[in-house]
Amino acid sequence: MKVLLTVDPEIPVPPPLYGGIERIVDGIAGELRARGHRIGLLAHRDSTCAVDARYSWPAGCSQGVRNSARNAAALLGAARSFAPDVVHSFSRLAYLLPLLCLRIPAVMSYQRHTGGAKLRLMGALGGKRFVFTGCSEYIAAMGRAAGGRWRAIPNFVDTDYYRFSATVADDAPLVFLSRIERIKGVHAAIAMAQGAGRRLVIAGNRPDTEQEREYWNREIAPQLRPGQVEYCGPVNDAQKNDLLGSALAMVVPVEWGEPFGIVFAESLACGTPVIATPRGALPEIVRQGEQGFLVNSVDEGITAVGRLGGISRAACRRRAEDEFSRRVVVGRYEALYRELLEGRLE
């Protein structure tokens, strides 16, 4: 099978630092090639992902009518050159419009909140040759309400890379690992750790907006204390592996509808339970009382910390391997491609 993958032009594949979708596409390409498929990639010009054919977007920005027109033409050209059996897009829906004349089956994947008449229109124009996927049932359900055929296929983590830690020290800290912004619930994580009498290590990048700077200065910075609440800054993959593997639990009590949240699956891959809120896709990742706890208040979070001894770290790891490993998730995409090509998709 020949598959042409596309991802937005702003960040290379794989990403040098942050870039969740770009990391996912790199993993999909590698796994599909290992299964014997030929892979083309249309992405940022500095992409180094190992593929059989590489193409670059002419416009390095997704925004604007002119950029969209140029990039849509580039996708049409790449499709004519590579002649794929399937196009799998993680980029903009509008880029796919010119492909309709080629009648190439296409998959459009969403990693963010979605909706609107554009989905219904594209679903109707694409017909049986077109399908949407969402990175969770939460996102897929949101898309179905707008129109088109949808499948929920989760994001994945490299379970070969993330090390399983069967045990941690008695004084192991709690860890907050995400962007340092209000919707991720850093302030609530601090309150839960303090109420439970546990050290909290905060890791992640700080968005440079006035709103988030004020949030940091007013609600986070005054709480920092050596040995109690510590901020270690952004972390790379190796540091993330060590940080999660040595944690009692990851505490990220989000205050918005999380589309998926790869870091939650990364935590489980290390055997580390999760304490979060039942928002967005979290109930699809963490089963209550089995891989952690989904709480609705700081008080419930404090209670959950006290119950972490009843969570099996091996069960957390099994959950990651069975549901969120690259092998399993890419296998679901591969099966979807075949259904689409064979006209079996419902």
Range of the domain at 29: 2-156+325-342
Q: 58 with 105, same domain?
A: yes
Q: 300 with 199, same domain?
A: yes
In a domain, 259, yes or no: yes
- CATH number of the domain that 231 lies in? 3.40.50.2000
Instruction: Say if CB 30 and CB 114 are below 8 A apart.
Output: no
Instruction: Say if CB 19 and CB 205 are below 8 A apart.
Output: no
Q: 290 with 336, same domain?
A: no
How high is the pLDDT of residue 208? 87
Rounded Cα gap, residues 42 and 71, in angstroms: 10
Task: Give the sheet arrangement for strand 174-177, strand by strand.
Answer: 229-233, 200-203, 174-177, 249-251, 274-276, 292-294
Rounded Cα gap, residues 75 and 96, in angstroms: 7
Rounded Cα gap, residues 291 and 313, in angstroms: 8
How high is the pLDDT of residue 17? 66
In a domain, 312, yes or no: yes
In a domain, 43, yes or no: yes
**Token pair of 112 as six digits:** 């963010």
In a domain, 164, yes or no: no
In a domain, 282, yes or no: yes
Rounded Cα gap, residues 40 and 54, in angstroms: 6
Q: 308 with 209, same domain?
A: yes
Total Cβ atoms within 10 A of residue 17: 9
Q: 151 with 63, same domain?
A: yes
Instruction: Give the chain's count of helices (H) and strands (E).
Output: 12, 13
Q: 105 with 181, same domain?
A: no
In a domain, 125, yes or no: yes
Q: What share of the chain is helix, strand, coil (3-state, %, to 5)?
A: 45, 15, 40
Amino acid at 131: V
In a domain, 218, yes or no: yes
pLDDT mean by block of 10 residues, the chain; 346 residues = 96 81 94 98 96 95 91 96 98 93 94 92 90 97 94 95 96 96 97 98 93 95 97 92 97 97 96 98 98 98 97 98 97 97 83
How high is the pLDDT of residue 19? 65
Number of domains within the chain: 2
Rounded Cα gap, residues 333 and 124, in angstroms: 22
Alpha helix stretches (DSSP H) within 83-129:
117-126
Q: 103 with 217, same domain?
A: no
Q: 185 with 290, same domain?
A: yes
Q: 335 with 319, same domain?
A: no
Q: 181 with 273, same domain?
A: yes
Q: 211 with 332, same domain?
A: no
User: Nearest CA to 103 among 128, 121, 124, 81?
Assistant: 128
Q: 78 with 100, same domain?
A: yes
**Maximum C-alpha span of the chain:** 62
- CB neighbours of 69 closer than 8 A, spacing ≥ 6? none
Rounded Cα gap, residues 170 and 121, in angstroms: 56
Residue 222's φ and ψ, nearest 5 degrees, are -65, -15
Peptide bond preceding 14: is omega within 30 degrees of 0, i.e. cis? yes
In a domain, 45, yes or no: yes
Q: Structure pTM?
A: 0.93
Rounded Cα gap, residues 327 and 309, in angstroms: 30
